[in-house]
Copies of this chain bind each other. A is one copy, B any other.
Amino acid sequence: MDFRDTAAEAAFRKDVRDWLEANKPSGAVAGLGVTEGRVGMLRTWQRKLHEGGWAGLGWPKEYGGRGASLIEQVIFSQEYARAKAPSILNVIGIGMAGPTIIAHGTDEQKHRYLDKILSGEEIWCQGFSEPGAGSDLGALRTSAVVEGDSFIVNGQKVWTTLAHIADWCILLARTDPTAPKHKGISYLLVDMHSPGVEVRPLRQMTGEAEFNEMFFTDVRVPRDNILGDVNDGWRIAMTTLLHERGTLGFALATQAEIVLGEAIALAKKTLKAGRPAIEDPLVRQRLAQLHVEIQAMRLNNYRALTTVMRTGIPGPEGSLGKLLWSESNKRLGELMLEIQGPAGLLEGSGYAGDNGEWVYRHFRSRANSIEAGTSEILRNIIAERVLGLPKHK
């Protein structure tokens, strides 16, 4: 047991930190939103990351990656969060589409797509979720019918980040409507510039549009653009989802530590009943509790990492992180608004703490327990896969 970096790890961490410090866009702001005004900056940043050799950190070297170890990937994600570097534009391509193509693609497919993913020349999005399906992915209804050399795709997807700027989409579609739910699904690589693809931004309650709806009307997809076999898409999608989390837990924990630090700073400068909020016993209890939860995330992540490194099999601790983070982050947002009193009702003003930043964070946090697995689904997963309880159905 040793929580310190080894000499090699420390050296790698320094490399990452130095490079980020020297290269990250000035005035960079962390956060996931790819708003119109930021796309140009993010493209440039993606290219820079690639040139620096940081794109596809965990990809095998033969496919242009760095072949970094798991722990190096963790260190990178921690330092990335700490530097508050802007989001990686081609995150779906590098984190999900690429690894799936590496695992299941033909040589031609690997040759065609992988380089351009890493360079950011082609941006990817993910067409899994559907309006009627939600947490029940197997209920998807988008159809792909073979017609000559093509699939003809019809249907609707939702909650698609980046769709408005994406060049390609990893799309799940039903190719055999008569088969049971999880059979009869195929995994297609769809050119977003094809006729019949329409993207509409989906505005959130924060006012931002991070997500999109995608409509597919008689979209023609060449037969070669299938990954794996026809009707074998479910199995392949599992590879993608396995990569969805990646080192996200570490990034979230580091980010949560930083945000808690900012919360403490605000509690020091905000007056409540005439004295700094940080001196209020109730505020102190709640901040302390959040500290304990955020540290639990970080430490649970380490345990999961050690288990994977020792046994190759992820331990139960990792699956707990997202659940803990969502619920803690929501509570932090609530607390920070309460600390401010009526100033917590201002979306931006000199009267609001940090110019209304916390109001945005609070609103945004409401989606935490819904996106990337609702808290209900996560508890189902923990109950069934970790505790071995019978299925709730």
Contact = CB atoms under 8 A, between A and B. Distances in A.
Contacts of A280: 281
A159 B285 CA distance: 41
A331 B285 CA distance: 18
Interface in A241-287: 280-282, 285
A55 to B, nearest CB: 48
Interface in A279-319: 280-282, 285
Contacts of A285: 282
A281 B281 CA distance: 7
5 contacts: A280-B281, A281-B281, A281-B282, A282-B282, A282-B285
Contacts of A282: 281-282, 285
Interface string A209-225: 00000000000000000
A378 to B, nearest CB: 20
Nearest to A285: B282
Identical copies in the complex: 2
A281 B285 CA distance: 11
Nearest to A392: B392
A281 B286 CA distance: 13
A280 B280 CA distance: 12
A281 to B, nearest CB: 5
A282 B282 CA distance: 6
A282 B281 CA distance: 7
A278 to B, nearest CB: 14
Interface in A188-224: none
Nearest to A281: B281
A275 B10 CA distance: 50
Nearest to A280: B281
A280 to B, nearest CB: 8
Interface in A38-91: none
A379 to B, nearest CB: 15
A280 B284 CA distance: 14
A274 to B, nearest CB: 15
A259 to B, nearest CB: 25
A282 B289 CA distance: 14
Contacts of A281: 280-282
A280 B285 CA distance: 13
A285 B285 CA distance: 13
Interface string A344-385: 000000000000000000000000000000000000000000
A391 to B, nearest CB: 14
A270 B215 CA distance: 67
A154 to B, nearest CB: 31
Q: Which 5 A-B pairs have the closest CB atoms?
A: A281-B281, A281-B282, A282-B282, A282-B285, A280-B281
A56 to B, nearest CB: 46
A285 B282 CA distance: 9
A282 B283 CA distance: 10
A85 to B, nearest CB: 40
A317 to B, nearest CB: 28
A347 B91 CA distance: 60
A81 B315 CA distance: 53
A392 B285 CA distance: 38
A281 B282 CA distance: 7
A272 to B, nearest CB: 12
A144 to B, nearest CB: 33
A267 to B, nearest CB: 16
